[in-house]
Every structure is written in structure tokens, then in C-alpha cells.
Structure 1
């Protein structure tokens, strides 16, 4: 049985990380983060839901860019914030 493809994957683009050294907002405000997520629509780098400010989720909600991938070394997975599922 096959799983239907997430319709939000149509928003995925070839992106370049805007702030490859860390979470864009955390770098600006001097806050620590736990793990990083890369927006696959625009290249925004945000911190994960385990981080104090959850900037990746905030970006997804505000910008309407639901698909991220882990920006951690050795990790290769994608997440859809709308469907709360791996894609």
C-alpha cells in the first residue's frame, strides 16, 4: 500500500541556508538553541520545538512555508508543520 504524497511538498525549492551558522532570530537576539531546521521554501534557518523560542515553527506559521529538513549534521529527514508528519 502506498501513502499519498503530502501536497505541501509542492512548496519545496532548492534553497541556500540564509544563516548557515545558526538560527536567524536567535543569532540576532543572542539566544541559545537546541537543534536547527532549514525551511525548504526560502532557506530560513530556525531553531526546533525543543529550543526556547521555536523559531522554525514560527517561521512556518507566519510565512506559510510548512516543510523543513533537519539542519543537523548526519540527519536527513523532512517535517511538515501543517500535517505534523515526516515527509
Structure 2
């Protein structure tokens, strides 16, 4: 995967956590970053599944993991995983000291029972 429609490598991420969860005081399990507009949303295991919601609302199909040390991409439209792809504008993951699930202080004690499987 080198040049793909739906990727803008110059757009920075929207923040360090799920923009939609942050807006309502929610929490997430893992984070995904839209490869076109930089929107950071929570993964499909997270209670709110905002990354998928962003794709459904905008039609932006490609996300990259926003977990430190992960570089894979997912194409929602094609259902395809890419182990790597073009570099996106930094940062390439949430801060290393931000826990997963996160953010600190908003994750309920029973979080494992609230994940989507």
C-alpha cells in the first residue's frame, strides 16, 4: 500500500483521544485515526464505536491504528487490513503514558464487561 485514495498524509490527528468520547466524557478501549481527515475515534471494541461511526457519516473508509507502535491500516469499505502504509503527519499514536483503555479517570472498573466482542 503506497498510494491510495482516501489518505492525506499531511493532515494531523484531531487530538490524543477519541474526539467524540472526549466531547461527552466517555472512554475508549483503543483508538483509530482517519487517514483522510485525521479524526481520532474509538475502535469497534469500545462502547461507542466512534471510528466506524465516522466512516459511516463521512464515507472516509481508511483508518490507521492510533496506538503507539502500531502502523496498520483498516479499510472499512473493503474489509481489508494493511500491515503498513504511508506515513501520516505526527504524532502517529496517542501519548505513550495515556492508558488503554483510557483516558485515565474515566474508565469504569467493570470495563471488560462493557466491550463489544
* Aligned counterpart for 1:52 among listed residues 47, 50, 53: 47
* Aligned counterpart for 1:69 among listed residues 56, 61, 64: 64
**Any unmatched runs of 5+ in structure 2?**
83-117
> Which structure has the highest helix share of the two?
1
Q: Provide runs of 4+ in structure 1 moved above 6 Å.
A: none
- Secondary structure, aligned partner of 1:52: coil
TM-score by length of 1: 0.86
TM-score by length of 2: 0.65
Residue number in structure 2 paired with 1:18: 14
How many correspondences in the alignment?
A: 80
Deviation at 1:83, TM superposition (A): 1.1
Deviation at 1:64, TM superposition (A): 0.6
Q: Larger relative CO (CA 8 A, sep 6+): 1 or 2?
A: 2
